[in-house]
Amino acid sequence: MVDGQDPRGSIFIDPVAYANQEAWHSAAGELRRQAPVLRVAADGYTPFWAVTRYDDVFTVSRHNDLFLNTRNSVLGPDLQYELLGAMGIEPKTLIHMDGEEHRQHRNVTNTWFRPRAVAQRQAAIDNIAEEFVGRFRDLGGCCDFAQDIAVPYTLRVIMSIFGVPEEDEPTMLRLTQGIFGAADPEYLGDLSDPFAMVTTTIAEFEDYFNAMAAERRADPHDDLATVIANAQVGGCPMDRHATLWYFVIVATAGHDTTSFALSGGLEALLRYPDQVKALQAEPQLVVNATDEMIRWTSPVRHFLRYLTQPTTLSGVEVAAGDRLLLSYPSANRDETVFEEPMTFDIRRPNANRTIAFGGGEHFCLGSTFARREIRTLLPRLLATVEDIGLDGKPEFAQANFVGGVKHLPVAATLR
Ligand code: HEM
């Protein structure tokens, strides 16, 4: 932190802080009560305001003309963004656009993500879920649920609609972790430098998706890759940079997020054997349980917004041009919205008010997919076990953007 600045803001920057969820939530809870809009200044980072209350995160998300996305939407050292800019590969996804530009680009894939379109993929999701429940049984019910089931299952679902062949899934996984997990020593591999990891990863993505786009233009398939490769925006083909980043966001946003919700959701559920039994007895509870898992885990840790004119949030004056960090995990534990927010409860009456998917014009495009994936796998998995519990200590990712339980040793008695 910068000398003389409030050190409490370090929990939003330090990837290691997120790996201790109890300590993190305790610190965020203090901020919600005492400094809900906290100015954070740290070496190497342009200062930002950390917004921790539900109502403030909601308000900022909904007022898309007052709080803009264009510019860096994810917190990273200034140097990293300067480097990406100098290399001409600075991010430009849907998340980085506003207004008409954003609407036009979102329209490219919007129909693919509408509830009716997603419902048509249910049979495919069922088959993939069956396959992974089979894998769980083959492992005798003893496995690292996060790595053996949640990660490959959610990856398979999204890649199957995207059009990436199964043999390339490990590459997609590695590249996604190169962007989202760049600070976690487990994913850094031979590189000692997270910046280098991000730039290398983007260059690799570019090679892969340029080839894929050329292929889909020559030979269209019934998949998202074909839609993106052939997209028209404002009557012209979508530009090369935006096309690359469209591929990147679809390839990365859909699986780590959902797998962290699934693994972290199961981790929470296993703390309450009576809730496991309730779900086994009443599988229809899975709809609400899924929302509670997503509230509880909040796998996306933040996004940034930029203020166009001075405004006041929770009594704090924020100037035009300032940036705000929306803390979804904190907002999802706000005691003014969720009664006993630190308790996991699959019957929570307002679990569907989870703000883990954001809000307003950028509301998560894939939320219907994410919910369906969890709702499809969980009841099938629980139907196949007599009982299930932890078989070791869960481990959380060190990541300040997308994170959650990365290792979940479980042991089950199979039926
Ligand atoms: C539990 C799982 C997921 C969580 C927690 C999550 C969370 C989020 C959040 C917080 C945002 C930004 C919202 C905002 O700025 O207001 C977002 C945007 C987005 N998500 Fe998700 N997401 C999940 C799953 C998915 C899936 C399965 C996909 C499918 C590809 C996906 C694709 C996207 C896209 C494309 C955007 C950008 C939308 C835009 O800017 O218009 N997400 N997500």
Q: Is 244 in the pocket of ligand 1 (CB under 6 A)?
A: no
Query: Is a pLDDT exceeding 60 seen at residue 100?
Result: yes
Would you say 312 and 318 are in contact if contact means Cβ atoms under 8 Å apart?
A: yes
Ligand 1 midpoint to CA 391 (Å): 31
Confidence band, pLDDT 50/70/90 cuts, at residue 85: confident
Ligand 1, closest atom to CA 162? 30
> 333 alpha carbon to ligand 1 midpoint, in Å?
19
Average pLDDT over residues 350-366: 98
**Which residue, judged by its Cα, is nearest atom 23 of ligand 1?**
257
User: What's the CA gap between 374 and 304, in Å, rounded?
Assistant: 27
Question: Residue 237, Cβ neighbours under 10 Å: how many?
Answer: 12
**What is the model's pLDDT at position 181?**
63
Helix (H) or strand (E) holding 96: none
Q: Identify the sign of the CA torsion 331, 335, 336, 338.
A: positive
Which residue's alpha carbon is nearest to atom 34 within ligand 1? 365
pLDDT at residue 80 in the model:
82
Residue 191 has pLDDT above 60, yes or no: no
CA–centroid distance, 303 to ligand 1, in Å, is: 11
- Predicted confidence (pLDDT) per residue in 30-44, tens digit: 999 999 999 999 999
- Residue 189's pLDDT is 58
Model-level pTM? 0.96
Return the best residue to mutate from 70, 104, 357, 375 for the ligand 1 pocket (most ligand atoms within 8 A of CB).
357
Geometric angle at alpha carbon 345, from 8 and 16, rounded to 5°: 30
Q: Give the distance, in angstroms, between the CA of residue 9 and the centroid of all CA atoms in the same chain.
A: 21
Closest by Cα among 244, 156, 243, 169 to 202: 244
Structure tokens, 104: 């036009």
Closest atom of ligand 1 to 249 CA is 35
Segment among 75-79, 353-357, 364-368 with least mean pLDDT: 75-79
Task: Please give the C-alpha separations between residue 298 and each of 67, 99, 227, 354, in angstroms, as whole numbers.
Answer: 22, 26, 29, 9
pLDDT digits (tens, 9 = 90+) for 41-59: 999 999 999 999 999 999 9
Ligand 1 pocket: which of 75, 112, 113, 364 to mutate (most atoms within 8 A of CB)? 364
Residue 243 predicted with pLDDT over 80: yes
Ligand 1 pocket, residue 261 CB under 6 Å: yes
How do residues 110-138 score in pLDDT, each as one tens digit? Answer: 999 999 999 999 999 999 999 999 999 99
pLDDT at 192: 59
Q: What phi-psi label fits residue 336: left (phi over 0), alpha (psi between -120 and 50 degrees) or beta?
A: alpha
Indicate if ligand 1 lies below 6 Å from the C-beta of 97.
no
How confident is the model over 70-84, as a mean pLDDT?
Answer: 87
pLDDT (tens digit per residue) in 334-349: 999 999 999 999 999 9
